[in-house]
Structure 1
């Protein structure tokens, strides 16, 4: 294989993400939109967990971005509010590829949060509204009783979105693509920019 065909191409990183994400949707057996979200609190202590990508692309504000939703009173929500920066990692084992994304966070609008919350299955809406995410739970029955109470209170239709349930947009300042190769001779290309309004620069990286 020639050097030209082995290297990750120089292109718009959003377009390359869309290409790889499309292939992942066709090949991954479950949740191709699953991504690791790394945050840190005000003291710099990091934490990481899996969340689901719920929007992406150039239509998400200046510079484009990647959107996920959560309970803002959860541990991740509190860390985000304390330090509005994060990193994302997609790992598609079936494709032997990964993408790392870094940048600042902004909260989505109430209208955007409402629209996504009410696009979810009704049971998922109830489950989110009933949960004090990340808080201690004395017994699972307490949570299930809350779910039952909400089902009784709202026997049909959408559940009101809790004000602390919202979404965040990560505007990337760095996107790094990695592709597995035999004998660990992997391909890596990193795209960076100083701000959302500036053009991307890029470089290959040693694996």
Structure 2
């Protein structure tokens, strides 16, 4: 029995060199990636190549980069987050993206690099972003303050949005699953049906949240371009 509602998100595996084995789940992609490099692509590899092509065109439109390196980075970011989100839906596999330590480690370095590049190379543009067009003169100091605060909290909102969405669905599945032993057979079938529907919804959320994270990061990058 769980002593804490959030105990399912605790790294509870054994320690090796002070490192919890749960976090190894984020490196499992190394097992799947080599299958993309066979001479004859599988159906999954072909499907993933088409998805990556669509994402490349989408991020190219958002960022406006002529250099494809920016879009490749965003597609890679989407892939990493989507893989970890989806992997957490499998039984007995740790959900690393439900921890702020992981989501902040993704969002904070990106935001800091955008800010450093923007203020060093696009100083006038960065100042222009602090005052929206058409702002009355008396409101300009307040708008500068509001835009500054909004800019500072961006990495926090990115990290919290991703972690909170991963936690919410897993908690709901855990709460519904814990009521199973006390239900009758009819209600148990209803519970199983609802669990399957929730699992389908969580699969969609895992992809959507990774897409949202990557798109917002691309929009932040386009502001300093």
Q: What TM-score do you get using the length of structure 1 for normalisation?
A: 0.23
Q: Which structure: larger Rg?
A: 2
Q: Which of 1 and 2 has higher RCO (CA within 8 Å, sep 6+)?
A: 2
The structure that is helix-richer by fraction is 2
Q: What TM-score do you get using the length of structure 2 for normalisation?
A: 0.21
